[in-house]
Amino acid sequence: MITTTARRRDAGLLTMAVLLAAAFFLAPPLLGPGRLDDFPRAFVAYCASGGPGFPPDLQHLVDHQFRYYLARMVIALPLLTVLVTLAVRLRRFRLPIGALALAAAVLLIANVQGAVSPFGTLLPILASGPAEADLAAVQAQVRDELENGPVSPALDVMLDEYVRWHVVKAVLVGLLAAVLIGLSVVVWRRRRSLSLLTAVLAVAALVVVAANVTTVANPIPPFLLLLQGSW
Cα 203 to Cα 23, 110, 135, 173, 209: the distances in Å are 31, 19, 40, 11, 10
Asked whether residue 10 carries a pLDDT value surpassing 90, the answer given is no
What is the distance between the alpha carbons of residues 130 and 142, in angstroms, rounded to a whole number?
18
The rounded Cα 12 to chain-centroid distance in angstroms is 29
The structure's pTM equals: 0.85
Per-residue pLDDT reduced to its tens digit, 135-181: 778 778 888 888 887 888 888 888 898 999 999 999 999 999 999 99
Please give the average per-residue pLDDT across 21-26, as a whole number. 91
Asked whether residue 1 carries a pLDDT value surpassing 70, the answer given is no
**pLDDT given for residue 209 in this prediction:** 96
Asked whether residue 35 carries a pLDDT value surpassing 80, the answer given is no
**pLDDT given for residue 229 in this prediction:** 58
CA dihedral 158, 161, 162, 168 (to 10 degrees): 180
Residue 150 φ/ψ region, left for φ over 0, alpha for ψ in the -120 to 50 degree band, beta for the rest: beta
